[in-house]
């Protein structure tokens, strides 16, 4: 039985590997395009199952000499190599071009081009294997034996199938003119002088003998598939950003592109786009990750948040199940489609997280302020109310007003906040905290959910409900600042443990509390001082754990590393409480770090001080692209612009504090309601063209959505 806490970290990828993805399908290969059976995590994956585990192309009995590997689009890669000439000539004029498309299966278009003045006879063979292994098994190194698959040649194609846990998964491989055997496909080709020979190899995944809709075919053009059209529509509709700072321009462009590649679609509601957590191992819907990523991406596309919420609402818990940790009203942590995904949890959705449910409610409130129509927001209100019922009846396990977590089984996540590694929550001396655990940032998310529901009630004219949730927010804020505050240390405890003792490690979690506004004004300066201290701020970003704590390790997953999304939310919190220079310094550090990662921020990087090495040190198993890392620069620029639509009040706030080195900034084609606006800014000045009728521009930062003062 899979233990979910074993798999919170991404698996290591082969050095030089190439990943292509579309929706939840992806392929990891070597830089030559080959997939080796002993390559560990390499393969082609469809619906969390590895449909190709070995894919090796030989020309004239040998591998190609690699020349180039390029990925012009997320779903497409081109591999160029040189093949051996039949007589063994060293300087071979035979070039192999392999163009790969991923989607509901795989298509490899292979071309041999002969640059010599004489024709050449070539033997081409493709060796194929498909272990039908579940993604979790591959990622965790638990690969089933090859004896579990059967091979056959049927209707001119190689079919490799496996029956596992009552489901039959299979792979069909074919190509016109191929000699198909149980080992793979072979061709005998004559490549004319200064001419070409080509073929298309089609891979179709099979579930109980049936292929997917829109599988690759010999007659269909891969660029005409719906997945490709969706990506092109995304590129046409996202904001067009122009910045004088070339590095920031590159980072924001990459962020938008990566967010587009990480979208996944509900097959029952194909119009809904949700965001997957990250490539390649987390190309699935994650409650917390998807909500936070879509929140931070609002300036790019608010419909991404709407689709994420709508999809999660359809998966909201309805019953109590100890295996999956489902409870009525609870929002799932992760949704998987593989054969063995349900073995550990009793279904394909696992609900073991404390934060997705309050974040769900908070994001619905944010969407109403962003201007999404009542047709989108109002159907979500019953789900918000069910989420709030979960908070008060299941999340608050002991009735003390705080949400705690304790897994009810031996295979769920031990820690159920965003730092969900087994050792992620510990005391200052390094001792691990014991559950039930109430995390500080989870209480902040609950506070935001209460505030959001109160404002939604005002929006719909229900004053009694507004006052109820206003009161709950006030009570929670007061209790939080009393129970979590450590007056002798000057910062908030990361959690309360099973004995209600404050877990006194200094962590980045309290920055999320600033973001949500639960921190009392008089405590904020001390919190900011600790967050920006040398023990926490590396110069690139905020450490997850201060360097003077007992469990600190700069090369750990959650105990001293830097996570870009975490730092972006901390920067937003700094800005919220008026610590403008600190927010600017933190934002600049993260953007500078991105330049060292070729413009793409990874999931996390190591927590070494900026002065120790020329650039940030990569974490070995970080996902890239990863959704909330991709969204972090978008959130940072929104925070620096202090851009906040408030449709519920008929205003939009824009009060930029851009660093001088940013220069002129412009974002055209930003969606507000049904209008496309252009935001311009330089330093502390800004303007918006094309505002919807009835929306007034205010050149001041948005006031707190908190009580008091009353605000909408």
Instruction: Specify whether the CB–CB gap between 620 and 606 falls below 8 A.
Output: no
What is the mean predicted confidence (pLDDT) over 128-141? 85
Residue 507 confidence (pLDDT): 98
Q: How confident is the model at residue 40 (pLDDT cuts 50, 70, 90)?
A: confident
Residue 18 confidence (pLDDT): 92
Q: Where are the alpha helices (DSSP H) in 298-439?
A: 302-313, 356-370, 374-377, 381-390
Residue 711 confidence (pLDDT): 47
Residue 86 confidence (pLDDT): 81
Q: How confident is the model at residue 62 (pLDDT cuts 50, 70, 90)?
A: very high
The tokens for 600 are 């793409």
Residue 490 confidence (pLDDT): 98
What is the mean predicted confidence (pLDDT) over 572-577? 96
Output phi, psi for 527, to 5 deg.
Answer: -60, -45
Query: In this predicted model, what pLDDT tens digit does every residue of 291-342 receive, in sequence order?
Result: 999 999 999 999 999 999 999 999 999 999 999 999 999 999 998 755 444 3
Of all residues in the chain, what percent carry a pLDDT higher than 90?
78
In the predicted model, is pLDDT for residue 397 greater than 80? yes
Residue 301 confidence (pLDDT): 94
Distance CA 94, CA 97 (A): 10
Query: In this predicted model, what pLDDT tens digit does every residue of 441-481 receive, in sequence order?
Result: 999 999 999 999 999 999 889 999 999 999 999 999 999 99
Query: In this predicted model, what pLDDT tens digit does every residue of 503-551 receive, in sequence order?
Result: 999 999 999 999 999 999 999 999 999 999 999 999 999 999 999 999 9
Residue 496 confidence (pLDDT): 98
In the predicted model, is pLDDT for residue 9 greater than 70? no
Instruction: Specify whether the CB–CB gap between 392 and 480 falls below 8 A.
Output: no
Instruction: Specify whether the CB–CB gap between 673 and 662 falls below 8 A.
Output: no
Half-sphere exposure (Cβ direction) of 453: Cα atoms closer than 13 Å = 28
In the predicted model, is pLDDT for residue 358 greater than 60? yes
In the predicted model, is pLDDT for residue 345 greater than 50? no
What is the mean predicted confidence (pLDDT) over 132-138? 84
Q: Which residues contact 544 (CB under 8 A, 6 or more apart)?
A: 419, 507, 508, 558, 559, 560, 561, 562, 563, 566, 607
Distance CA 136, CA 130 (A): 16
Q: What is the pTM of this model?
A: 0.90
Q: How many CB atoms lie within 10 A of CB 117?
A: 8
Distance CA 494, CA 527 (A): 12
* Mean pLDDT computed over every residue of the chain: 91
* Buried b or exposed e, range 652-680, using 16+ CB within 10 angstroms: bbbbbbbeeebbebbbeebbbbeeebbbb
Distances (CA, A) of 396 to 207, 346, 401: 42, 24, 6
Distance CA 153, CA 29 (A): 25
Residue 583 confidence (pLDDT): 97
Distance CA 278, CA 286 (A): 10
Residue 97 confidence (pLDDT): 97
Q: How confident is the model at residue 346 (pLDDT cuts 50, 70, 90)?
A: very low
SS3 annotation, 61-76: CECCEEEEEEEEECCE
In the predicted model, is pLDDT for residue 22 greater than 70? yes
Query: In this predicted model, what pLDDT tens digit does every residue of 44-54 receive, in sequence order?
Result: 999 889 999 99
- Tell me the DSSP string of 461-500: T-HHHHHHHHHHHHHHHHHHHHHSEETTTTEE-SEE-TT-
Q: Which of 174, 175, 149, 144 is nearest to 163 (CA)?
A: 149
Q: How many CB atoms lie within 10 A of CB 433?
A: 25
In the predicted model, is pLDDT for residue 624 greater than 90? no
Q: How confident is the model at residue 134 (pLDDT cuts 50, 70, 90)?
A: confident
What is the mean predicted confidence (pLDDT) over 589-612? 96
Residue 622 confidence (pLDDT): 86
In the predicted model, is pLDDT for residue 637 greater than 70? yes
In the predicted model, is pLDDT for residue 3 greater than 50? no
User: In terms of pLDDT, which residue wins out, 56 or 7?
Assistant: 56
Query: In this predicted model, what pLDDT tens digit does every residue of 228-250 receive, in sequence order?
Result: 888 888 888 999 999 999 999 99
């Amino acid at each position: 039985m899979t233990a979910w806490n074993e798999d919170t970290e991404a698996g290591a990828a082969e050095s030089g590997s190439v990943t292509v993805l579309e929706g939840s399908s992806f392929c990891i290969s070597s830089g030559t395009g080959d997939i080796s059976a002993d390559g560990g995590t390499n393969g082609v994956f469809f619906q969390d199952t590895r449909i190709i585990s070995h894919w090796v192309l030989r020309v004239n009995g040998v591998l190609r000499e690699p020349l180039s590997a390029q990925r012009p689009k997320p779903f497409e890669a081109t591999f160029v190599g040189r093949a051996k000439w039949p007589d063994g000539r060293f300087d071979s004029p035979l070039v192999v071009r392999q163009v790969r498309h991923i989607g509901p299966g795989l298509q490899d278009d292979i071309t041999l081009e002969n640059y010599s003045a004489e024709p050449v006879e070539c033997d081409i063979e493709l060796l194929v294997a498909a272990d039908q292994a579940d993604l979790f098994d591959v990622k965790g190194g638990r690969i089933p034996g090859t004896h579990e698959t059967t091979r056959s040649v049927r209707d001119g194609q190689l079919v490799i199938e496996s029956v596992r846990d009552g489901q039959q998964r299979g792979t069909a491989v074919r190509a016109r003119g191929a000699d198909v055997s149980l080992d793979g496909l072979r061709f005998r080709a004559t490549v004319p002088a200064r001419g070409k020979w080509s073929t298309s190899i089609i891979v179709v995944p099979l579930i109980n003998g049936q292929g997917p809709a829109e599988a690759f075919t010999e007659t269909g053009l891969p660029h005409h598939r719906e997945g490709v059209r969706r990506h092109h529509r995304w590129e046409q509709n996202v904001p067009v950003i122009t910045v004088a700072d070339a590095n920031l321009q590159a980072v924001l462009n990459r962020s938008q592109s990566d967010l587009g590649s990480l979208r996944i679609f509900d097959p029952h509601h194909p119009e809904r786009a949700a965001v997957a957590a990250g490539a390649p191992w987390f190309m699935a819907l994650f409650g917390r990750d998807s909500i936070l990523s879509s929140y931070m991406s609002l300036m790019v596309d608010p419909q991404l948040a709407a689709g994420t919420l709508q999809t999660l609402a359809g998966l909201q818990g309805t019953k109590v199940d100890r295996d999956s940790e489902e409870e009525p009203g609870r929002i799932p942590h992760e949704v998987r489609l593989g054969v063995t995904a349900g073995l550990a949890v009793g279904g394909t959705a696992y609900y073991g997280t404390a934060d997705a449910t309050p974040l769900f409610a908070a994001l619905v409130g944010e969407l109403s302020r962003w201007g999404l129509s009542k047709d989108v927001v109002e159907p979500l209100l019953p789900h918000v109310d069910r989420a709030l019922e979960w908070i008060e009846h299941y999340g608050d396990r002991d009735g003390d007003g705080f949400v705690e977590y304790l897994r009810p089984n031996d295979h769920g996540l031990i820690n159920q906040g965003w730092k969900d590694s087994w050792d992620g929550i510990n005391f200052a001396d390094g001792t691990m905290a014991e559950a039930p655990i109430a995390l500080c940032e989870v209480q902040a998310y609950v506070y935001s959910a209460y505030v959001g529901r109160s404002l939604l009630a005002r929006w719909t004219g229900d004053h009694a409900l507004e006052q109820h949730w206003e009161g709950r927010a006030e009570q929670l804020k007061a209790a939080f600042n009393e129970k979590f505050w450590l007056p002798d240390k000057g910062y908030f405890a990361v959690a309360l443990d099973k004995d209600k003792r404050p877990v006194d490690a200094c962590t980045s979690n309290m920055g999320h509390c600033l973001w949500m506004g639960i921190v009392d004004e008089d405590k904020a300066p001390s919190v900011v001082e600790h967050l920006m201290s040398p023990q926490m701020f590396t110069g690139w970003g905020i450490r997850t754990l201060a360097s003077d704590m007992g469990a600190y390790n700069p090369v750990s997953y959650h105990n001293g590393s830097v996570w870009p999304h975490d730092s972006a939310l901390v920067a937003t919190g700094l800005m919220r409480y008026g610590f403008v220079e600190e927010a600017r310094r933190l934002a600049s550090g993260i953007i500078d770090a991105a330049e060292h990662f070729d413009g793409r921020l990874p999931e996390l990087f190591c927590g070494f001080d900026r002065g120790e090495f020329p650039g940030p040190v990569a974490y070995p198993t970080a996902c890239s692209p990863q959704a909330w890392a991709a969204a972090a620069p978008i959130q940072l620029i929104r925070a620096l612009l202090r851009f906040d639509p408030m449709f519920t009040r008929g205003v939009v706030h824009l009060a930029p504090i851009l660093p001088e080195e940013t220069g002129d900034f412009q974002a055209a084609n930003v969606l507000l309601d049904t209008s496309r606006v252009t935001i311009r800014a330089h330093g502390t000045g800004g303007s918006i063209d094309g505002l919807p009728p009835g929306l007034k521009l205010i050149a001041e930062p948005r006031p707190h959505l908190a009580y008091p003062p009353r605000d909408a």
